[in-house]
Amino acid sequence: MSPKSAMYRLVSRLILVAGAFVSLFPFYWTAVAATNPSGKVFAKPPQLVPGSMFLENLFNLNASIGIFRVLFNSTFVTCVYTLFSLTVCTMAGYAFAKFRFPGRNALFSVFLVSLMVPYHATLIPLFKMMASWEWINTYLALIFPNVAYPFAIFLMRQNLLAMPDAVMEAARIDGVGEWRLFVSIVLPSMRPALAAAAIYLFVYQWNNFLWPLVATSTKEMYTLPVALSSLIGLSRIDYGQVMTGVTIATGPIVAFFLILQRQFISGILGGAIKE
């Protein structure tokens, strides 16, 4: 290896290490702050050594917002939403990619245009719709709006365009029904795309703040973002509780990504194909 190549690799690795440190340090600082009392969170110099206050902060957090109930709400809503949305978006992407029907391109364009509509503009009509169905302050109102997530439909369609039509035609000639074709042939070949879409949907719903704030009216139905926001008031703020809640809220996202990370990159790259 030439000295120039060795220097290039060394510099590249140093840059990657620096980037990883910058990216991971906020998570480390948040986790450390969750183990210290509120007064040490913004101490100078910063407190970078874990303390012994995590359990006390956790008990105080539970007394303030009922963290275990809130955590259940977020986990249940996010998991059910991800499952339903992934099913709907995969089937919609399959229809857009492999079926020919009048208005297909126009309807798909409407889905893409919907990405440009500000989310806030839909809050009032969506709230009135949920109120007319008596879904306000229920899990139904938290789960079913935005099940047909436009970006996930776009991602699934683009990945399905890469699947050869000849494989599907051969299965149909052999007498395979459309539903069995979708479940037995299409879905197994789309695991990377499904993993990528699942991560997007999971993170979107887990971090969703505005709609759960509008759709819930009691603390028993709060999700984590809404419950954590209630800790920030006009009076004294216990940052030990806040950092403990943020640490708990970050854990499932990191774990979910680590579980599906092998499929994530290939799923994203699969969406780069053009029709």
Residue with tokens 């245009």: 113
What's the whole-number mean pLDDT along residues 209-223? 93
pLDDT in tens, 164-200: 888 888 888 888 888 888 888 888 888 888 888 998 8
The closest of 103, 93, 101 to 270, measured between CA atoms, is 93
CATH architecture of the domain with residue range 52-270: Orthogonal Bundle (1.10)
Summary count for the chain: helices (H), strands (E): 14, 0
CB atoms within 10 A of CB 188: 9
DSSP 102-135: TTHHHHHHHHHHHTTS-GGGGHHHHHHHHHHTT-
Q: Which residue has the higher pLDDT, 266 or 136?
A: 136
Would you call 20 exposed, middle or buried from its count of C-beta atoms within 10 A (0-12, 13-18, 19+)? exposed
For residue 139, pLDDT beyond 90? yes
Q: What is the pLDDT of residue 227?
A: 93
Q: What is the pLDDT of residue 216?
A: 93
Q: What is the pLDDT of residue 274?
A: 45
Mean pLDDT over each residue of the chain, to the nearest integer: 86
Amino acid identity, position 91: M
Q: What is the pLDDT of residue 161?
A: 85
Q: What is the pLDDT of residue 275?
A: 45
The closest of 137, 157, 145 to 119, measured between CA atoms, is 145
pTM of this structure: 0.86
Q: What is the pLDDT of residue 273?
A: 46
